[in-house]
Homo-oligomer: A and B are copies of this chain.
Amino acid sequence: MTSLDPVLLFFILGLTAGLMRADVRLPSAIYELISMLLLLTIGLKGGVELARQPVGSLAFQALAVIAMGAVLPLLAFPVLRHVGRLKRADAASVAAHYGSVSVATYAVATAYFMTREIPFEAHMPFLLAVLEIPAIVVGILLAKGLNRDIRIGQVAHEVFLGKGIVLLIGGLLIGWIAGYEGLASIKPLFFDLFKGVLALFLLEMGLITASQFSSLRQYGPFLLVFGIVMPLVSSVIGMLIGFNLGLSLGGTAMLAILAASASYIAVPAAMRISVPEANPTLSLAASLGVTFPFNVLVGIPLYHTMTEQLFAIARS
């Protein structure tokens, strides 16, 4: 393992400060701005690359990725229900979190790949956006079945027109229309500041992660184990799907990372409205308190190495 990316040092600073109860939180308005900048930048970057490349079998890849987003929670649910002995609604909600994705993890992975100059498919932000959704639908169905009244319009709106998807897809389209030269004038804000903004974001994520530790303790060791084993399993599935879709090494590793990541924004918001009887602190303790730090500190290089080996084997 090579030396730690400096943005991860900010994560560790935040984590440490949080554990010592030092008050270095970003104001919520800043946290929101930073999230929006990351989403737009990720979208723009993808769009700019798309403008240069042929898109290929985008629709087919989207379908495969939707299937993955639906299958992952179906795998997680019985484990959570029977091994973890969670209530039905809680199991469904946690499962939905793990079937969906974390933009923060994706951003850290992007930084990781940038540093190592590993290319990956330009339309990844599109797959990222697509992957947010199916797990939410499956989670709701697992919790409620088909027959109960759920605020379907409300939830659909929340899901399809959430900040994450609108800014990712919006950025993608703008990047695609304007192209690399077109974006030159806004590059200083969106591209040059990207890693600095990510560093601030991870400082805050460290604090949030630390604040999850206390609720984690409350729920016993099961969540801890689940929060590490589940992404390991998911990453293998993501990797194999990526490989079979014919993605590049970078793209395959990225799909492994996406599969392994767990949502902590889009899914909690949707679940709170559609499955209110699920305890939101449970899902967040697992997703933010365990899986996010595991993925950014250990998982990303691990899934990358794993994918390299798969490609080495395949090539030989």
Contacts and interface: CB of A to CB of B under 8 A. Distances in A.
B163 A24 contact: yes
Contacts of A196: 185-190
Interface string A35-48: 01000000000000
Contact of A21 (B21, B157, B170, B197): B157
Interface string A163-189: 100110010011001100011011111
Interface in A17-36: 17, 20-24, 26-30, 32-33, 36
A161 interface: yes
A29 B23 CA distance: 15
Contact of A36 (B7, B24, B36, B170): B24
Nearest to A188: B192
A199 interface: yes
A32 B29 CA distance: 11
B188 A24 contact: no
A246 interface: no
Nearest to A174: B9
Main secondary structure of the interface of A (DSSP, over half): helix
A88 interface: no
B183 A188 contact: no
A26 B17 contact: no
A310 interface: no
A303 interface: no
Given A28-B27, A32-B27, A21 B161 contact: yes
A136 B178 CA distance: 39
Contact of A193 (B13, B189, B199): B189
Task: Determine how many copies of this chain the complex contains.
Answer: 3
A187 B190 CA distance: 14
Contacts of A199: 186, 189-190
A178 to B, nearest CB: 4
A10 interface: yes
A249 to B, nearest CB: 22
Contacts of A16: 170
Contacts of A114: 185
B178 A188 contact: no
A265 interface: no
A276 interface: no
Contacts of A6: 174, 177-178, 182-183, 185-186
Given A111-B185, A196-B186, A166 B24 contact: yes
26 contacts: A4-B177, A6-B178, A7-B185, A9-B173, A9-B177, A9-B178, A17-B161, A17-B166, A21-B157, A21-B161, A22-B162, A23-B161, A24-B36, A24-B163, A24-B167, A27-B33, A28-B29, A29-B29, A29-B30, A111-B185, A185-B196, A188-B192, A188-B195, A189-B200, A190-B196, A190-B199
